[in-house]
Structure 1
Amino acid sequence: MTRTAQELLDAVTTRLAPDPAANPLVPLFADGTANGSAITALALEQRSVIPADRRSFLHLAERSAATGEAECEAFFRTLAEGEALALDRLGALVAACGVGEADADAYEPRAGCQAYPAYVAWLALNGAPVDVVLALTANFASWGAYCATLARALPAHYGFSEEDCGFFAFFAEPAPDLERQALAAVRAGMERGLDATGSALRHGRLLQRYEAMFWETLADPKRDL
Structure 2
Amino acid sequence: MVRTAEEVVAEAVRELSPDTAANRFVPLVAEGKAPREAVAAFALEQHHIITSDRRSFHQLALRSTADPSVVPFFDALAQGETVALERLGSLTAACGLDDAAVRAYEPRAGCQAYPAYAAWLALHAEPADVVIALAVNFAAWGDYCATMRDALREHYGFDAEACGFFDFFAEPDPKAAEQCLSAVRSGLDAGRVTERLAHRYGRLLQAYELMFWNTLAGL
Give, in whole Å, the separation in 2 of the partners of 1:129 and 1:156. Answer: 40
Could you tell me which runs of 5 or more consecutive residues in structure 2 were left unpaired when the two chains were aligned. none
* Alignment pair present for 1:148 and 2:146: yes
- Partner letter of residue 53 of structure 1? D
> Higher mean Cα deviation, 75-84 or 6-15?
6-15
Tell me the secondary structure at the aligned position of residue 94 of structure 1: helix
* Alignment pair present for 1:57 and 2:82: no
* Alignment match, 2:42: 42
- Partner letter of residue 30 of structure 2? A
Give, in whole Å, the separation in 2 of the partners of 1:156 and 1:26. Answer: 14
Deviations 1:106-140 (A, max 9, x none): 00000000010000000000010000000011100
* Alignment pair present for 1:69 and 2:67: yes
Matches within 5 A, 1:1-225: 1-65=1-65, 68-221=66-219
- Normalization by structure 2: what TM-score? 0.97
CA contact (8 A) 2:126 2:192 kept: no
Give, in whole Å, the separation in 2 of the partners of 1:126 and 1:175. Answer: 28
Structure 1 residue 166: Cα displacement = 0.3
CA contact (8 A) 2:129 2:195 kept: no
Structure 1 residue 2: Cα displacement = 3.1
Give, in whole Å, the separation in 2 of the partners of 1:160 and 1:39. Answer: 11
CA contact (8 A) 2:53 2:118 kept: yes
Deviations 1:59-91 (A, max 9, x none): 1001101xx111111100000000000000000
Task: After the TM superposition, list the runs of 4 or more consecutive aligned residues in structure 1 that deviate by more than 6 angstroms.
Answer: none
Give, in whole Å, the separation in 1 of the partners of 2:4 and 2:71. Answer: 21
Could you tell me which runs of 5 or more consecutive residues in structure 1 were left unpaired when the two chains were aligned. none
- Partner letter of residue 118 of structure 1? A
- Partner letter of residue 142 of structure 1? A
Give, in whole Å, the separation in 2 of the partners of 1:182 and 1:136. Answer: 9
Tell me the secondary structure at the aligned position of residue 183 of structure 1: helix
Give, in whole Å, the separation in 1 of the partners of 2:29 and 2:160. Answer: 16
Give, in whole Å, the separation in 2 of the partners of 1:190 and 1:80. Answer: 23
Give, in whole Å, the separation in 2 of the partners of 1:81 and 1:175. Answer: 14
Structure 1 residue 192: Cα displacement = 2.2
The count of corresponding residues between Structure 1 and Structure 2 is 219
Give, in whole Å, the separation in 1 of the partners of 2:26 and 2:212. Answer: 11
Structure 1 residue 180: Cα displacement = 0.5
What is the root-mean-square deviation of aligned Cα atoms in Å? 1.0
Tell me the secondary structure at the aligned position of residue 162 of structure 2: coil
- Normalization by structure 1: what TM-score? 0.95
Deviations 1:20-60 (A, max 9, x none): 20100101111111111110000000010001100100010
Give, in whole Å, the separation in 1 of the partners of 2:19 and 2:101. Answer: 35
